[in-house]
Chains A and B, each alone.
Chain A
């Protein structure tokens, strides 16, 4: 309220929620410059990610993998935030809930699954896929996103970086430090906030008092924008502008996408303890997949039959990835000791030899070492 009293400005008006599609799929904003094939490609990703996410949460609940962080409900953000990035040139810095965006960037589904199954090898992004490993410490990756963008700028490359963070993460010092550094050094960095309303159990109202998160851009004198995070085309539109600006030397942007996670924070969490069924249903009524499907159908470029085929395709894709991930042998003792340093220290070599001998003595060696 203080902001309004001091400035006479209403922050919600100053940072209006950018929307292109209404929940019923009708167009309210300017149609983004996307071909029918691109629109279908976006929708294909949304459906695939929803399918992947639901299957993964089930695997976690069945004990077939460990603790899982679902993004269900946030698919438009996961796709839209990275859709315009140039593979092999631009970089993303994900949280544990951004494994959808990671896949759009080119990380194989199998790796994401192995990561949540508890295998270090799942953290690997193939060569040419510029995805930083998942950062669990909150908001820390944003400063890295600034650093990579800064380095690219210093080296004369026109690469762009996107750092992901949630609403809770905006309370961490690193969030503010990243914005300030990006601003001062005019780095090509987009800080993409998925405001899904809850930091585990803590609602926005207990997290920050400002009416928007986008307005924090004002303090750092950079562009800030608020977007309907359930509207795939709006996220695409906002990110197109931010990416183009960053690439052409215009510096950083803070994006606040208003969204909702349908599921728990992670598998052991029970969201019924802190939010209502009504709230969930309200957000499910704004579902990004439904919205996109209605839009495509109204546009006359999509049919129910194609939709059924798409869901079947997504299911097949995910089934294949799960089968591949589950067929992978357990990580070995080497996976535990490899990559601590460029070359193992003598002490590490001693420790590895000890553990190997111990496991062999206990009859557990065979399954745990590479041949």
Chain B
């Protein structure tokens, strides 16, 4: 069980590392959110699952099982909450007029739509 917990923890650290590389190297806000939103969620869930497994290594007592259930509960909550926060932040940035980066510098879409061209 310790070996499986170690594998989960190392996988979580790897996904955190890819998220950090993405947040440092990508050119604009939207691609940075692409890297962090996924790497962060999966890394946290892997890490919490590995720690819950490692916590059960001390024996299947009531206290240990309760702590492991709480850890899995944090994982489930994070798996729901982090994509929601990512989506709300992306929506706020897009409504504030932040445009995605392109190599040529042209706008990807015409936004906000000019009056008379809507619909």
Q: Are A and B genuine complex partners?
A: no
Q: Which residues of B contact A (CB under 8 A)?
A: none
